[in-house]
Structure 1
Amino acid sequence: MLENGGRKDQDSFEDGLGAAMKQTGAEFSVAGRPLLDGGLARGRRRTVLRRSAAVTGSVAALAVIGLGGSFVTGGLGSSQNAGEVGGPSPALSPVARTLAALLPEGHLSEEPAGGGGDTEDRKRPRPEGLATVVYDDGHGKAALAVTLGRQNPGQVNEDELSCPDRNLNTFDACTATKLKDGSRLVLFKGWEYPDRREETKWWYADLLTPEGYRISVSEWNAPAQKGAPVSRSTPPLSLDRMKELVRAEEWRPIIASLPEPEKQAPEQPAPQGMSGAVIVDRLTAQLPDGLTVKASGKQETEYAYLVVDDGLGKSFVQINVQPNMSDVEGDLFGAGTEVLPDGTKVVTHEGPGEKGGDGVKTREVDTIRPDGLRVVISAFNAAKQNEAATREEPALTLAQLRKIATSKVWRK
């Protein structure tokens, strides 16, 4: 989401996770996709956040508390059942039992049905295609999550199975390939928090077969996705192992037993916003002289960014062009707001960046027209928000940002 002086809507990520857990199966969510760290600014309504954010988050929120028993796992590719250790334990779900048989030797504990919440939560049935577990191969406990589902292949957005934009996300490695059988596979090595404020690593494999079978596995180097100290240097499975795991034939009978996906009705047109490609072109055309564009990126609508250089180092510049934002005008344009002769409201912000990059500074101009069109633009003294500063000051001054934000080109 667009930085907006640290006022990002932090809840959209967790909301997406909850929805993913509830809709496993026919409405299978995008598993294991990092939240795109750019896009809509704070103030956009949640329904539009979900529409416009390029990705949801990881497979499931792993609040791994009160684990229900310990089990011995088998070797990857074996078909043996997981054996119980330490007396009677709750039966493994089909997904967890299959996972236990496919993992290298170790101990596996499955989260109780209903998750690690209160008593009422635990009474709720576990989604058929979901397993959240803690696995220990002798080198430290690690959280793993598996999500299985069925999708209509023709209705999957190509962007769902792609690598994130390196200018918006921090990660170690990512590949997105099409396999010989027509399956699409993404292998990702990154961090639970893009700004790396904690050392929790997040790796995942995400596979979609030609018949619409979706298998996604995420792993962390801690016994929980969030809120637990790291317990090992890396997650337990290499990406090669993860690739084998998601391609295992043992998943197919489970997925085949899940409800067939409903044929989706054509999506209703989203509220009309300016396309990302148009925003890139118009932003580029308004840059001050002396700036060279080194990189650019966009979402489908309403958001774009440029990486520019004036010879003193790279500077990240991002902009949102959002129609129909009058409902948040009172929240965003309060004391200190300037009102222009045409009724446009303007506020400016300047200070340290909020993404964790060492020495990062940001300048921002936020505007809203009388008809609700909001244009907010910010510049940083870094090539990426999550990394250290690459120059002393952002490449654009507040005056230059203001000129761009109030330009008439955004009305066309």
Structure 2
Amino acid sequence: MPVDQHSDPFEDRVAAELRAAGGGFEPDLTALTTAGLARGRRLRLRRRAAVVGGAASLALVGVGGALLLPGGGPDADQSSVASTPSARSTAAPVSGEELISTLKEQLGYGKFSQESGRGTADKPGPYASLVWDDGDGGSAVSVSLEKVEPGSENARQWAECPDKTFTPYDSCRTSRLDDGAVLRILQGYEYPDKREPTKFWSADLITAKGQHVAAYEWNAEAEKGSPVTRPEPPLDAAELKKLVTAPAWLTAVDAIPEADKPSSPAPEETTAPTTDIRKTLVDLLPSGLTPVSRGGDESGWGYVVVDDGKGKSLVEINVQPDMGDLLGEGMFEGAEEVGDGTMLVTHEDAGDKDVAGTVRWTVDTVRINGLRVVISAYNSGGPHDAPGRDKPALTMEQLKTIALSPAWGPSREDLYGHKNGQKNSDQG
């Protein structure tokens, strides 16, 4: 999407993630299954924020991780300053024109065009973007600003490098600055599968106060749909750091009105397993498979890349509670009942449709207690990698065995105390 007069870089990143993850949303079984798997992936997308590349989904869930910032507080959803603002900020508003001027001053020279911006008092939030030609080719450059809750999940995501299995990049570095702020410099690609040579580099600054400044740049005049104009974006890592740490941006962030916080909802009951998803998945793998790498989070998602001597194969799993209502949906039409009330369907598809030759096999199950276990295996080491083998390393039957394992949660007998139609004598 070009960086134009109606472009919000934070929102554009979310749209880009959704396109990159599944080739665009489609209301079909494949998309819904993919959404189930991707629900727990580590890309904690917010309405106006996303880590470039990787996997997005219909249900986007945060993950933990070591917080690099001082301070803290409960994880609050500070997804956007687009929430109804209450004018509690005492700093003077900064206009979109002023932010554009600041961006041009920081870049310092060259030709500028396609300028757009939004001020700190405007919804859904402030940014400045333009096309900058430094003499070696035009490049889209933008800066976005927001406030995040110190210590929250939204703050953590900007202090971590993404998992390379799902987000290919050339370089990612995080560092703590002298003032306690955390800086992340990411040099990657607009398209995770690198089907086009558009590079996307970014810098994210998170301060202990929760000020978030993000700078984005491309080696083209638009994020998408524009030919590259140069081998790399114009600003190197040191220059990105200088841009994103300019004091003027922090002054502007302070001028963003505080968002009204909704009352916290009551915690939901969960039947999710308390086990380590990654460890359990590895323990359930059939013999002959060597784990090469693994990852996941406490939200119920995990993956392992295995190699049986014939090439790498990605296996990912998502364990979701309270999903029994899916049994009334078309995605489970014609599902097989496997004897204990669990319903099971299988899918064979191309996975990431942008990578030729990809094969993905999926087993999707919902148990009588609403626990959904969906597992997929690929004929490649990552969802955006070129296939390295003809078919996944696990057969469909092996995937079924893993999905139906009691290790993910209680069985029908555990829940209701009867087996093979006979009431358990211990239940009275």
Q: Does 1:141 align with 2:138?
A: yes
Give the TM-score normalised by structure 1: 0.74
Unaligned runs of 5+ in 1: 21-29, 41-45, 60-90, 116-123
Q: Provide the secondary structure at the position in 1 that maps to 2:141.
A: strand
> How far has the Cα of 1:403 moved from its partner?
0.8
Give 2:311's aligned residue: 313
Give 1:210's aligned residue: 208
> How far has the Cα of 1:54 moved from its partner?
8.6
Question: Whole-Å Cα distance in 1 between the matches of residues 271 and 316 of structure 2?
Answer: 16
Q: Provide the secondary structure at the position in 1 that maps to 2:400.
A: helix
1:407 to 398, 402, 405: 405
Residues 178 and 185 of structure 1 are in contact (CA less than 8 Å); yes or no, is this contact kept in structure 2?
yes
Q: Provide the secondary structure at the position in 2 that maps to 1:404.
A: helix
2:60 to 30, 42, 50: 50
Give 1:95's aligned residue: 99
Give 2:332's aligned residue: 333
Q: 1:134 to 1:331 in 2, by over 3 A?
A: farther
Give 2:47's aligned residue: 19
> How far has the Cα of 1:249 moved from its partner?
2.3
How many percent identity over aligned positions?
Answer: 37
> How far has the Cα of 1:158 moved from its partner?
2.9
Residues 117 and 126 of structure 2 are in contact (CA less than 8 Å); yes or no, is this contact kept in structure 1?
no
Question: Whole-Å Cα distance in 2 between the matches of residues 166 and 53 of structure 1?
Answer: 16
Residues 143 and 222 of structure 1 are in contact (CA less than 8 Å); yes or no, is this contact kept in structure 2?
yes
Question: Whole-Å Cα distance in 2 between the matches of residues 146 and 128 of structure 1?
Answer: 11
Question: Whole-Å Cα distance in 1 between the matches of residues 115 and 35 of structure 2?
Answer: 29
Residues 273 and 301 of structure 1 are in contact (CA less than 8 Å); yes or no, is this contact kept in structure 2?
no
> How far has the Cα of 1:320 moved from its partner?
1.0
Q: 1:50 to 1:377 in 2, by over 3 A?
A: closer
User: Residues 4-403 of structure 1: matches in 2 within 5 Å?
Assistant: 5=30, 8=34, 19-20=47-48, 30=49, 33-37=51-55, 46=58, 49-52=59-62, 93-109=97-113, 111-112=115-116, 125=122, 129-155=126-152, 157-259=155-257, 269=267, 272=270, 274=272, 278-329=276-327, 330-335=329-334, 337-403=335-401
Q: 1:273 to 1:107 in 2, by over 3 A?
A: farther
- Counting matched residue pairs gives 352
Question: Whole-Å Cα distance in 1 between the matches of residues 266 and 107 of structure 2?
Answer: 43
Give the TM-score normalised by structure 2: 0.71
Give 1:85's aligned residue: none
Q: Provide the secondary structure at the position in 2 that maps to 1:93.
A: helix
**Residue type of the partner of 1:33?**
V
> How far has the Cα of 1:260 moved from its partner?
5.0
**Residue type of the partner of 2:110?**
G
CA RMSD of aligned residues (A): 3.7
Residues 6 and 354 of structure 1 are in contact (CA less than 8 Å); yes or no, is this contact kept in structure 2?
no
Unaligned runs of 5+ in 2: 1-17, 23-28, 66-76, 81-94, 411-428
Q: 1:389 to 1:279 in 2, by over 3 A?
A: same
Question: Whole-Å Cα distance in 2 between the matches of residues 104 and 359 of structure 1?
Answer: 46
> How far has the Cα of 1:244 moved from its partner?
0.8
